[in-house]
Amino acid sequence: MGKIMIVDDNRDIAETLKTIMEIEKHETELAFNGEEFLSKVEKVKPDLVLLDVMMPGLKTKEILMKLKEKNLEKLRIMLVTVVRFSEEEKKLLMNEFKIRDYVIKPFDVPEIVNRVRKALI
């Protein structure tokens, strides 16, 4: 199984995702904002990041740009968001930052489990 880093300012969602991923035998690490994520990511070396889009502080694009600056742009990222992107916006984000997938909140547990499995392949 993989090492998954969950980045979400909503502690209930972060803890829920952590529990789901641990049931699936993944090792997990939490971060509750972009700054904390960026300070931990190189040490943690996750196989996949579940990244919330709407957090205080650094915006998602800023976080993704900082990953590029750190030469971590190959990091597998799945966005977990309440934001519904247009197909064009989704395509741009996924291509520009090599986003693996994105999941809309509230998420369906079997669906997110399957999508995480696919993203780790």
pLDDT in tens, 31-81: 999 999 999 999 999 999 999 988 999 988 899 999 989 988 889 999 998
Predicted local confidence at residue 98, as pLDDT: 84
Structure tokens at 65: 């740009």
Binned at pLDDT 50, 70 and 90, residue 28 comes out as: very high
CATH number at residue 86: 3.40.50.2300
- How many domains does one find in the chain? 1
Please count the other Cβ atoms lying within 10 Å of the Cβ belonging to residue 48: 22
With a pLDDT cut of 90, the percent of the chain lying above it is 69
The amino acid that residue 56 corresponds to is P
Report how far residue 46's alpha carbon sits from residue 19's, in angstroms, rounded to the nearest whole number.
17
Q: Which domain holds residue 44?
A: 3-119
